[in-house]
Structure 1
Amino acid sequence: MKCPKLILLLAFLGATLSMSAQTATVTGIVFNKANEPLEEVNISTASKGTISDQNGYYSLQVTADEPITLTFSHIGHKNVVLRDLVLNTNETYEFSPVLRSDIIQIAGVTVSPTGKRNIEGVTTVSQDMAHNIPGANAGVENILKLLPGVSSSNELSTQYNVRGGNYDENLVYVNEIEVYRPFLVRAAQQEGMSFINSEMVRNIRFSSGGFQAKYGDKLSSVLDITYKKPSENGAQLDLSFLGASATAEAVSKDKKLSTINGIRYRNNSLFVNSQDINTNFNPTFADFQTFTTYQFSRKFHLDFLGNVSINDYQNEPRDRQTNFGTIAEPKSLQIYYQGEEHNRYNTILGALKANYFVNEDVTMKLIASLYHTTEEEYSDVIAQYYLGNVNTDPFSDSFGAPTDIRGVGSQYKRARNELDALIFNLSYKGSFTRKNQLLEWGIKYTHEDIRDQLRESEFIDSAGYFVRPPRAEFINDQPETPFEAPLEAYSGVNARNFVKTDRFSGYVQFSDRLDLASHALHYNLGLRAQHWTVSGAEISSSSQTVVSPRAQISLKPDWKRDMLFRLSGGLYHQPPFYRELRDRTGTVNPNVKAQESLHIVGGNEYSFNLWQRPFTLISEVYYKKLNHVNTYTLEDVRIRYAANTDAEAYAYGADLRLNGAFVPGTESWVSIGFLKTEENSNDRGYIARPSDQRLKFGILFQDYIPEFPNFKMYLNLVYNTGVPDGSPNYSDPYLYNTRLRDYKRADLGISHIFVGGNRTYQKNHWLHRFKELSAGVEIFNLFNNQNSITNTWVRDVDSKQQFAVPNFMTSRVLNLKLRMRF
C-alpha cells in the first residue's frame, strides 16, 4: 500500500520541479559565407536540439539562468560554438551566425541579468521587464527611472533626467531612427503615452553618458530601441483601467515579409481624479505604429517605421483644497475655478531604412524620416483663491476647513498657443569589419521648419486691485493711491516666429581589440562634427560649427574574478533646437551657442555567483564640466530657456547597481546614485541647477510563490531627495534656494499566469488557443505618499509674503489588467 503513495509523491515532486524550471529562447537565421540562408543546420545544447528550416530560421528553447553551450553544425561547414551563454527567464535572444568552411568560430557570450556583456558601458534591459514592472507609465521609461543616475519626480511623465541634465538632453532612437516628443506640453498629465510601444520592443540599450560618436549630439544620454522582426504570426491584447493596446505580428510564407503593428489607447482620469483638485477631465491619447521589413534579396532589406499619434486633452477644473504648512502652523489654500483647457498634440512620423549587405564585411544603410507635429494650447481659466489657517479642532463640524482668511485673490490665465513643426532627416551609414576591427562612418542632413505662435497672459487680482508687473515702469503705491492706468498683464508673452534650421553632421569611429599578454583590451576612437544654420522671418541668419572627439577603452583582465574595467569620455555638444533658441518672452535668438560638456566616466563590472546564481555589480563615477550653458526654469515638464548660453556648470557623482537572481529564475536589482550639479550665471556664483537631485535609491524586485510559480510579484521602490522648487514670476532664482519635499514611491504588481512558459494545454482544452493568458492587479503609490512636482505661489495681503503651496501628485490607485496572446 505504501508503494502507490510513494509513486504519487514522486510524481507530484517531479511535476512541481518541471513547473519550476525556467526557460529562455534562442532564435535567428543561419547564413553561409555568401550570406544565403542555410537549411538543415543542427543547433544543439547538451540536452536539446533543433534544425533550421529552408529559410535558415530556427528557434530553440533552452534552460535559463545557468551557463549553456550552443553549437551550430552543418556538413561542409565548420562549427559555430557559443560558450557560457546565460539567458534570463523568458528572454528571447536573437543570434544569426554565419557558417564558414575555413574556420571554427568559438565565442564566449555571457548574457548576465543586465544583458549582453559589452565594452561600451551600455545597459541592456529585457523586454519582459518593460511590460511586467508596474508603474503609472509602465514601459521602457518606467524601467529607466529605476537605474542609478536616472531620475524623475513625476510619475505621470515619461520624461527623465540623466546625471544632472534635463529632458531635452536625451537622444531616443527606434531602429536607428531618431524620434521626437511634442514641443508645447507643459504638464505631465497632458503627455499621454511615450512614443515607444513596449509590446513591439525586442532590445533596449541605454547609455547614461560617455557614449560613442555614432549616437549623436546630446549632452546626457542615449536610448537605443530595436523593434521586433516577427518570426511567426501572432496577436496580443492588453486591457486595464488605464486603457488598452493590441499588437499583431505577421510573417509571409517565404519569410521575406514581416510586420508588427500596435495600436494603443490611454486615459489618465484614474490618476487625475486621485489628486486634490476636483475636475471634469476628458483626455484621449491614442496612437498606431507599424514596423515592416521586406527582404528583396539576401543583400537588400527595406524597413518602414510609421507612427500616428492623437493626443486630445480637455480639462475643466472646478475646485481645489490643499493643506500645507507645519503641524504648529497649518495653512490651507482653497481655489474655485471657472473655464477650461483644451490642448491637442497630433504627430506623424514616417521613416524608410534601406539595408544593403555588400558582403559579410561591409554593410551600408540609407535612412530617411519625416516628422510632423501640429500642436494647440487653448485655455481660459479663472481661479479665485482663499489663503488661511486650518481648523484643527477634530470635534468641530468644519474640521480641516480654512479659517482666518489672510489672502483673497483671483487669477486669470489665458493661452492661445499654436505650433507647426516639420523635421526631415536623411542619413547614410556604413561599417566595415575585419577580424576584431570595426570601422563605422556616417553623414546626416536635417531640416527643421518651425512655425510658432505664442500668446499667453496672466492677470492677478489681489485684495480688489490688479497686481501689475514688478518692473520700474509699473511701480505705484496702490491701493493707498488710486491708479487709473490701463490694465496690464502680470506676465504675458505675445510672439510669432518662423524659424528654419539646416544641419549637416557626420562621424567616423574605429574599434579594435588588442591582446596585452593574456588580457583583452577593447577601444573605440571617434570624431563627430556638426554645422548648422539658423534663419527665418525677422531674424538674422547665423551659422556655427562644433567638433566632438570621443573615446572608450575597456580592459578585460585575465583574472580568476570576472571583472571588466571601462573608461570613456570626450567632448559632447548640444547644438540648440528651436525651444533652446526661444527665450522667456518668446523672442528667438539665432546666436545661441551649442552647450558643451567635457565628460569623463570610469566604471567597473564584476560578475560573480552567489547562492549558485548569477549576480553583477556595476559601479561608475563621472564628472561633467559644462560651458555655454543655456539656463532654464522647469515647471512640471515645461522647460523655459533663457537663450543666452552665458553660464557655466558642473556635475559629478557615482552610481552603483547590484543586479541578479535574488530569487531563482527572476531578475532584480538594487541601485544607489549620488549627484551634485550647480551652475554659475554671469559670475554670480554657483547655485543648484533645477535637476540637482542629490540622492537616488531604487529597488526592482521580482518574486513568485515556490509552490505556485505562476503567481508572480513585481515591486519597484524609488526614493529621491527633493530638487530645487523654483521661484515665482520675476523673482531672482539666486534668492530662492529651497527644495521640494523628498520623492517616495512604491508600485506593486501581482499577476497569475494561466497560460505561458511551461504551462500549456492539450488541443481539446479551451485554453489551448492561447499562447499566453495572465491577469493581475497593480497598486500604484502603495504607501500613499504625498509627492509634489511644483508649487503654486500665493500672496498674503497683510504681509505681502508669498507662500509656496505644493501641487501634490497622485495618491494610491488600484488598477486591474488582463493580457492575452494568441
Structure 2
Amino acid sequence: MKNLLFLFIFFLVTFSQHIFAQDAIVKGVVLDESNQPVEGANVSYKSSGTKTNENGVYILNIPSNQDITIKISHVGLKDITFTINLQENQTYELNPILKTDIEQISEVVISGRERKIVEGITTLDPETIRITPSANAGVEGLLKTLPGVSSNNELSTQYAVRGGNFDENLVYVNEIEVYRPFLIRSGQQEGLSFVNTDLVRNVDFSAGGFQAKYGDKLSSVLDITYRRPTRFDLTADLSLLGGSISAGGITKNKKFAGVVGVRYRDNSLLVDARQTETNFRPRFADVQTYLSYNFSKKFELGFLGNIAINKYDYEPLTRQTNFGPITDPIALTVFYDGQEEDRYETYFGALKGTYRANENLTLKLIGSAYHTQEQEHFDIFAAYFLGTVNTDIGGEDLGEVEFSEGVGSQLTHARNNLDALIFNLEHKGTYTADEHQIDWGIKYTSEDIRDRIQEYEIIDSAGFSIRPPGTFVNDQPYNPNASPIVPFTSVRATNMVNIDRFSGFAQYSLRTNIKEHEIWANVGVRAHNWNVSGDGISSSSQTVFSPRAQVAIKPDWKSDMIFRLSGGWYHQPPFYRELRDLQGTVQPDVKAQQSIHIVAGNDYSFNMWNRPFRLTTELYYKKLTDVNSYTIENVRIRYRANNNAEAYAAGFDLRLNGEFVPGTESWFSLGLLKTEENLDNRGYIDRPTDQRIKVGALFQDYVPTIPNLKMYLNLVYQTGVPGGSPSNADPYDFQTRLRDYRRADLGISYIVVDQKIRRKEGNFFNKFRELNVGFEIFNLFDNLNSITNTFVRDAASQRQFAIPNFLTQRVFNVRLGMKF
C-alpha cells in the first residue's frame, strides 16, 4: 500500500504546475458512409493542417475566440467544410461523415464525444487496451482501472460494477449480445475474454443509468464495435503466455470487408507463481471473425462468428502456506491425489442486416445462435497437516514444519455437465428528424438448457467424518449414533429447462437549446415477458416494465462543463443460473430483481500544460428489491433463488484523465462504495461486493531522449470484500473480509518501426508497418493477494484458522508485437 501511495503522490506532484493555453483543439474520427474510418484524409484551415491516421483519428490545434473555417477532404470523397468558434482551452470533438454524392457545407453540430458524455458513457481507446499490461490482457483488464468497477482476481475477466455481481453486466459486440460459460468456478478456468482486442474499433462503457435501448441488467453495459478495414492489414502478438494473429482486408470495389483473429493462451506461467505445486496445462484457443458486405449504399449484411475451446487439466501435488504472526507462525501443508478435467466449447454465430431507407430512417434485423457444451469432472483427495514452523534464523530447517497440531482430509467429487442452446431474433430501428430521434426494438429469445449437477464433499478431521452444519447433534454416549455417514455437502439434480422471452423498447431523444444553453434529453421504456417450462417444472410466466430517462445540460459558460441526471426503474429477469437454488433445483417462480437507480454526474473539460484533460464525477444510489441473494466462491455464484432480500448501493466515482505526458493518455480514478442487504428481514449486513474504496491508475510515459522507449503502468488498490468466511456459514454469523487487494503491472516497450520511424531503404525492418519488443512485470511489488480462505480446525486447541488462498506472485513476461 505504501508503494502504491508513493507512486500516486509522485505523479500528482510531478504534474502540479498549471499552464493554460491560448488555443483550442478540434479532434475526432473521420468516417465514410458505412461508418468506417477514413485513413489519410486532410484536415486543414488556412495554411495549417493534419492528416487522419489508420483509424481515421485527427487532432488539430486552432486559434480560440474567432471563426475558423476547417476543410476535410479525401480522394474519392466529397469535401466537407464547416465553421467553428471555440473558447480558450476548449477541446471539441467532431466526427464527420464524408459522402460520395453531395458537397457538404454545414455549421457545427453536437459531437460524438459530447453525445456519449451526456449519455454517461466512457469511451476507451482500443490501442490503449492493447498495450496496457495485465495478467489477463484485454478490455476487462482496462475496465478494472475505472472507478466503480472492481475485481479482486487478476486471473478472471469478470468484474463487478457499483455493488452488483458478475451476472449483472451486459456485453454487446456490434449490437449483438454475447454470453459467457455457465460452469466456471475459478478465474484460472476462464481463459480468453470473448472480445478480441485486435479486431476492436470502438469501446463504450456505462456504469449505470443507461438508456432503454440497452438490455435488462442491473449494473453496466459494455458496447464493443469491431472494425471494418479500409486496406489489407496483418497483426501478430507473441508472448510467454501465448499469442494472437489477426488479418483484415477489403475488396477493390469496397463492398466486401472482413477481419479474422486467432488466439491461443497458456496460463501455466501464471499458475506456476502460485503456492500450490501442480501438473497443470490451462489451454485456451478461439477463432473469431466479423465479415460485412455492402449490397448497395442502402443495405449491408454483417456476420459475427466465434469458436472457443477451453481445456483445463489440473493435477495438484502439494501446497504449503505459512501464516500468522512472525513470532508464532503456523503452516498448512497439503498433499493431493487426483485430478480435474474441465472442457468448455462454445460456438456463436450472428447475422446483422442494416437497411438505410433514407438519411432519416435506419432499420436493422439481427439473428444469433449460441451453443455451449461444458464439462466439469474432478476427484481430488487432500490430506492436510496444521503445524508450527521452525523460526530459528541460523538453523538448517528454517521455515520447515516441526510439529503437527491438526490433521485431516478432504475428498471433492463432481460430474457436472451442461448443454445450452440460445437463439435470438431482433428488430431495431432509428428515425431522426432535426433535433429529434426515435429508437425502437423488439426481440425474441429461446433458451434450451440441459444441466446435470452431481457433486459432493467429504471432510474428515482426526478420524471423524464432519457432518453438514446444523443437521446433527452429538449426545453420545447417552444415545448411540445410528444415523448413516453423509457428505459434508452434496448436490444432485438434473434439469431440462426451456425459457421463452419477448422483450422490446421504445425511446425518444431530443437535443435543443434554452437560450444559449444546450439541452439533451432521453426518455424510454422497456418491457420483458418470460415463460419458464421444462421436465417436471410447472410453467410460470411473468412480465415487467422498465421506464428510464436521462437529461443533460451544457451551460453557456466559459468553462466547458456538462451536467447530467439519469435514472429509472431497472429489472433483471432471471437467467438459468439465477433460477437454480443451492440444491440445484430450478425454481420457475423466481421474480426479476428490481433496482431504482439514480445517477448525477458532471464532466469538466479543460486544458492544462497546453494539453486536454477531463474530470468526471458521479454520485449514484440504487434501491434494490426482490433481490436474489447468493453466495460466491472465487468467481462461482450460487443463488438462493427465493427473492428473499432487499438491498441498496450508494457511492461516488471520480476520474481525471488526459495527457499527463504529451501525446499519451493517462488517468487516475477513485471510487467510494457502500452496499448492504437485508435477508429475510434479519437486518442489513454487507453484500459480497461491498468494495468500500477503489483507487486505480493507468499511466503512460516515454524517455524524452529515447521517445521510442515507452512505459505503461497499471495500478489498482481495493479494500477487502466480504468473502473470508466458510461457504456454508450463515452470513449473519460471519462477516470476515478478505485482505486488501493491491496490484501493479508494468510494461516496457521499445518501438523498432512504426509509421513515423522508418529505416534506410532496403532495411529488413521496413517490411513491418509496426514492430515493437518489450517485457512485462505482473504484480510488480509481489503483493500477496487472496481470493478466498481455507478454514482448518486445530483438534488440540479447538481453534479454527482462516488460511488465505493466494493469487499469483511476481511474474515476468516477454512480448513481441508486429503489424504488416
Show structure 2 runs of 5+ residues with no match: 1-24, 88-92
Deviations 1:696-737 (Å, cap 9, x if unpaired)? Answer: 001110000111111110001110000012432432110111
Aligned to 2:248: 249
SS in 1 for 2:117: coil
Distance 1:370 1:322, change over 3 A: same
Kindly indicate whether residue 651 of structure 2 is the aligned counterpart of residue 660 of structure 1: no
Kindly indicate whether residue 32 of structure 2 is the aligned counterpart of residue 29 of structure 1: yes
Structure 2 CA distance for aligned equivalents of residues 816 and 316 of structure 1: 27
Distance 1:26 1:758, change over 3 A: farther
Question: For residues 577-592 of structure 1, what are the structure 2 equivalents within 5 Å?
Answer: 577-592=575-590
Q: CA deviation at 1:627?
A: 0.2
Show structure 1 runs of 5+ residues with no match: 1-21, 87-91
Deviations 1:730-761 (Å, cap 9, x if unpaired)? Answer: 32110111111100000000000111141123
SS in 2 for 1:469: coil
Aligned to 2:564: 566
Distance 1:287 1:82, change over 3 A: farther
SS in 1 for 2:646: strand
Distance 1:46 1:736, change over 3 A: farther
The size of the alignment, in residue pairs, is 786
Structure 2 CA distance for aligned equivalents of residues 319 and 807 of structure 1: 14
Q: CA deviation at 1:800?
A: 3.7
Aligned to 1:786: 784
Distance 1:279 1:286, change over 3 A: same
Q: Which moved more, 1:381-390 or 1:402-411?
A: 402-411
Please say if residues 119 and 566 of structure 1, whose CA atoms lie closer than 8 Å, have aligned partners that are also in contact. Answer: yes
Structure 2 CA distance for aligned equivalents of residues 39 and 401 of structure 1: 63
Aligned to 1:71: 71
Deviations 1:417-453 (Å, cap 9, x if unpaired)? Answer: 0000001010000000111111000000001000000
SS in 1 for 2:285: strand
Please say if residues 276 and 317 of structure 2, whose CA atoms lie closer than 8 Å, have aligned partners that are also in contact. Answer: yes
Please say if residues 51 and 58 of structure 2, whose CA atoms lie closer than 8 Å, have aligned partners that are also in contact. Answer: no
Distance 1:150 1:49, change over 3 A: same
Structure 2 CA distance for aligned equivalents of residues 729 and 750 of structure 1: 41
Of 610, 615, 618, 1:617 maps to 615
Q: Which moved more, 1:411-420 or 1:721-730?
A: 721-730
Q: Percent same amino acid at aligned positions?
A: 56
The code of the aligned residue for 1:489 comes to P
Kindly indicate whether residue 432 of structure 2 is the aligned counterpart of residue 429 of structure 1: no
TM-score (norm 2): 0.91
Please say if residues 150 and 161 of structure 1, whose CA atoms lie closer than 8 Å, have aligned partners that are also in contact. Answer: yes
Aligned to 1:641: 639
Deviations 1:657-712 (Å, cap 9, x if unpaired)? Answer: 11111111110011010000000011100000000010000111000011111111
Distance 1:821 1:103, change over 3 A: closer
Aligned to 1:219: 218
Please say if residues 436 and 508 of structure 2, whose CA atoms lie closer than 8 Å, have aligned partners that are also in contact. Answer: yes
Aligned to 2:707: 709
Deviations 1:140-189 (Å, cap 9, x if unpaired)? Answer: 11110000000010000000000000000000000000001100000100
The code of the aligned residue for 2:818 comes to M
Deviations 1:541-566 (Å, cap 9, x if unpaired)? Answer: 11111000000000000000000001
Q: CA deviation at 1:814?
A: 0.2
Distance 1:362 1:110, change over 3 A: closer
SS in 1 for 2:269: helix
Please say if residues 85 and 110 of structure 1, whose CA atoms lie closer than 8 Å, have aligned partners that are also in contact. Answer: no
Distance 1:621 1:551, change over 3 A: same
Structure 2 CA distance for aligned equivalents of residues 129 and 669 of structure 1: 12
SS in 2 for 1:734: coil
Please say if residues 76 and 101 of structure 1, whose CA atoms lie closer than 8 Å, have aligned partners that are also in contact. Answer: no
Please say if residues 366 and 425 of structure 2, whose CA atoms lie closer than 8 Å, have aligned partners that are also in contact. Answer: yes
Question: For residues 46-445 of structure 1, what are the structure 2 equivalents within 5 Å?
Answer: 46=46, 62-63=58-59, 70-72=70-72, 79-81=80-82, 83=84, 95-98=96-99, 104-107=105-108, 118-445=117-444
Question: For residues 478-517 of structure 1, what are the structure 2 equivalents within 5 Å?
Answer: 483=481, 485-517=483-515
Question: For residues 745-760 of structure 1, what are the structure 2 equivalents within 5 Å?
Answer: 745-760=743-758
Structure 1 CA distance for aligned equivalents of residues 269 and 724 of structure 2: 28
Please say if residues 783 and 809 of structure 2, whose CA atoms lie closer than 8 Å, have aligned partners that are also in contact. Answer: yes
Please say if residues 31 and 56 of structure 2, whose CA atoms lie closer than 8 Å, have aligned partners that are also in contact. Answer: no
Please say if residues 77 and 98 of structure 2, whose CA atoms lie closer than 8 Å, have aligned partners that are also in contact. Answer: no
Please say if residues 29 and 37 of structure 2, whose CA atoms lie closer than 8 Å, have aligned partners that are also in contact. Answer: no
Of 726, 729, 750, 1:728 maps to 726
Distance 1:120 1:38, change over 3 A: closer
Structure 2 CA distance for aligned equivalents of residues 184 and 355 of structure 1: 35
Q: Which moved more, 1:93-102 or 1:161-170?
A: 93-102
SS in 2 for 1:558: coil
Structure 2 CA distance for aligned equivalents of residues 23 and 568 of structure 1: 28
Q: CA deviation at 1:24?
A: 9.0
Structure 2 CA distance for aligned equivalents of residues 751 and 63 of structure 1: 25
Aligned to 1:89: none
Distance 1:602 1:69, change over 3 A: farther
SS in 2 for 1:128: helix
Distance 1:656 1:738, change over 3 A: same
The code of the aligned residue for 1:165 comes to G
Please say if residues 599 and 622 of structure 1, whose CA atoms lie closer than 8 Å, have aligned partners that are also in contact. Answer: yes
Aligned to 2:19: none
SS in 2 for 1:202: strand
Please say if residues 39 and 56 of structure 2, whose CA atoms lie closer than 8 Å, have aligned partners that are also in contact. Answer: no
Aligned to 1:14: none
Structure 2 CA distance for aligned equivalents of residues 82 and 342 of structure 1: 64
The code of the aligned residue for 2:362 comes to T
Please say if residues 28 and 58 of structure 1, whose CA atoms lie closer than 8 Å, have aligned partners that are also in contact. Answer: no
Please say if residues 50 and 60 of structure 1, whose CA atoms lie closer than 8 Å, have aligned partners that are also in contact. Answer: no
Distance 1:501 1:59, change over 3 A: closer
Please say if residues 776 and 814 of structure 2, whose CA atoms lie closer than 8 Å, have aligned partners that are also in contact. Answer: yes
Distance 1:582 1:102, change over 3 A: same
Distance 1:705 1:111, change over 3 A: farther
SS in 1 for 2:184: coil
Q: CA deviation at 1:329?
A: 3.4
Structure 1 CA distance for aligned equivalents of residues 160 and 653 of structure 2: 14
Please say if residues 95 and 112 of structure 2, whose CA atoms lie closer than 8 Å, have aligned partners that are also in contact. Answer: no
Structure 1 CA distance for aligned equivalents of residues 338 and 152 of structure 2: 29
TM-score (norm 1): 0.91
Question: For residues 796-807 of structure 1, what are the structure 2 equivalents within 5 Å?
Answer: 796-807=794-805
